[in-house]
Chain A
Amino acid sequence: MRNKIRIGIVVGVVVVVNALLIYNVSGVIRKHTEEVKLPKLALSTGDLVFRNGHGLISRMFQNCSLKEKKYGHTGIVLIKNNIPYVAHVQQDRPGPALMVEPLSQFWNTSICNEGAVYRLDLNNSQNKNFTTLLNLNLKKNLLFDAKFDMDDHSQVYCSEWIRDLIVESTGDSSYFPISAAGDFKYIAPDNLYLNEHAKLIYNYSKE
């Protein structure tokens, strides 16, 4: 009888220790669901959406914008059943780099506390091209460009993807300005909205 109690205690301790280890070490529990509640916004498919980031590495990328170090990530608004979604190219996820999620999740408070939506001055024909290309891209298995190489169009990073779509839709390779640090040329988030074509539609702030 005593032996059974001893065995029971040992098994209980092992189970508790393992449960604590799983909780603390595995990362299984670390998930955030802090979606933001947004007012009804007059957004359109094709609007550009931006966000900043709380994280150390997100802030390093934010600093790559040379004029305004406000945002580190960007995507394209998609309206489905009157609900705004965001299509964006993200590196830190399994599977294809291009993902679509609700805007309320894109601006998740555990990820960012500031964001904005800008609209480009595309004409009807350019807008039609853009929407067609966007839909084609959503069916593709896009790969993330970890080398951040603007000349390699087979893989893209978030702002490069948007620039590629716009350049192809408009036929204008100088539609957006390009940032450069020495021989390294890249498209930073501020290149996409600090230009003659973009107009601010909505400013999001957590506070």
Chain B
Amino acid sequence: MKNKIYFLAILFFFTLTSCKKDQGPIPVAELFLAAIQEHDYDKAAEFGTKETIKLLKQFKKIEELNGSEAKEKLNKITILSEDIQGKKAMVYFKEEGNENEQKITLEKVEEDGEKVWKVAMKKEEINVIGDQE
């Protein structure tokens, strides 16, 4: 009986910890895109890879230079799906008023001993022929 209880306790522990560690790329992409919509590059950087963080800092500087009038009001974003291929993932989304499906790349990186999904922003993130080969 005792063994059964131990076994169930261990199983319950592992289930909980595995759920906590990896919620998949979609929640990260959602938070990242929400921050971008708000032009909050510091917040977006929390969900980006090291290179993306650097890039976002540059975007912030450029936006400050352009002034607040130049800030584009971004439309509502709807996440469509995700495609996970090992340590890389694509999250597909659409913007209201834009019929084109877009994507954002994420990479699984190690942070504080845990493997987490981070946005690896790429310059031309739109589906073009041959880009998934």
Q: Is residue A199 within 8 Å, beta carbon to beta carbon, of the partner chain?
A: no
Interface residues of B, CB < 8 Å — how many?
43
Among A27, A28, A32, A93, max chain B CB count under 10 A is at A27
In contact, A30 and B72 (Cβ under 8 angstroms): no
Q: Is residue A120 within 8 Å, beta carbon to beta carbon, of the partner chain?
A: no
Q: Is residue A5 within 8 Å, beta carbon to beta carbon, of the partner chain?
A: no
Interface string of B93-133 (1 = CB under 8 A from A): 00100101111110000000000000001111111111111
In contact, A63 and B72 (Cβ under 8 angstroms): yes
Q: How many A-B residue pairs have CB under 8 A?
A: 122
In contact, A32 and B129 (Cβ under 8 angstroms): yes
Which of the segments A52-60, A125-133, A169-177 contacts the partner chain? A52-60
Interface residues of A in 153-189 (CB under 8 A from B): 157-158, 181-182, 184, 186
The 8 Å CB contact of B124, one of A24, A53, A184, is: A53
Q: Is residue B30 within 8 Å, beta carbon to beta carbon, of the partner chain?
A: no
Q: Given A58-B125, A184-B61 in contact, is the A63-B70 Cβ separation under 8 Å?
A: yes
Interface string of A62-87 (1 = CB under 8 A from B): 01101001001100000000000000
Contacts of B63 in A (CB 8 A): 63
Interface residues of A, CB < 8 Å — how many?
43
Q: Is residue A147 within 8 Å, beta carbon to beta carbon, of the partner chain?
A: yes
In contact, B83 and A27 (Cβ under 8 angstroms): yes
How many angstroms from the CA of A32 to the CA of B92 in the assembled complex?
A: 15
In contact, B102 and A56 (Cβ under 8 angstroms): yes
Q: Is residue A110 within 8 Å, beta carbon to beta carbon, of the partner chain?
A: yes
Q: Is residue A111 within 8 Å, beta carbon to beta carbon, of the partner chain?
A: yes
Q: Is residue B65 within 8 Å, beta carbon to beta carbon, of the partner chain?
A: yes
Q: Is residue B82 within 8 Å, beta carbon to beta carbon, of the partner chain?
A: yes
Interface string of B54-70 (1 = CB under 8 A from A): 11001101111110001
Contacts of A144 in B (CB 8 A): 123
Q: Given A55-B126, A181-B65 in contact, is the A148-B58 Cβ separation under 8 Å?
A: yes
How many angstroms from the CA of A38 to the CA of B21 in the assembled complex?
A: 51
How many angstroms from the CA of A33 to the CA of B129 in the assembled complex?
A: 7
Contacts of A31 in B (CB 8 A): 127-130, 132
Report the minimum CB–CB distance from B21 to chain A (whole Å).
22
In contact, B133 and A26 (Cβ under 8 angstroms): no
In contact, A110 and B58 (Cβ under 8 angstroms): no
Contacts of B45 in A (CB 8 A): none
In contact, A59 and B123 (Cβ under 8 angstroms): no
In contact, A56 and B90 (Cβ under 8 angstroms): no
The 8 Å CB contact of A90, one of B55, B59, B98, B124, is: B124
Contacts of B82 in A (CB 8 A): 25
Using a CB–CB cutoff of 8 Å, the interface residues on chain B facing chain A are 33, 36, 51, 54-55, 58-59, 61-66, 70, 72, 74, 77, 81-83, 90, 92, 95, 98, 100-105, 121-133
13 A-B contact pairs sorted by A residue (CB < 8 Å): A27-B127, A30-B101, A30-B132, A31-B130, A54-B98, A56-B95, A63-B66, A64-B62, A72-B123, A92-B123, A93-B131, A146-B51, A184-B58
4 cross-chain pairs, A with B, having the tightest CB-CB distances, nearest first:
A181-B61, A92-B124, A55-B126, A91-B123
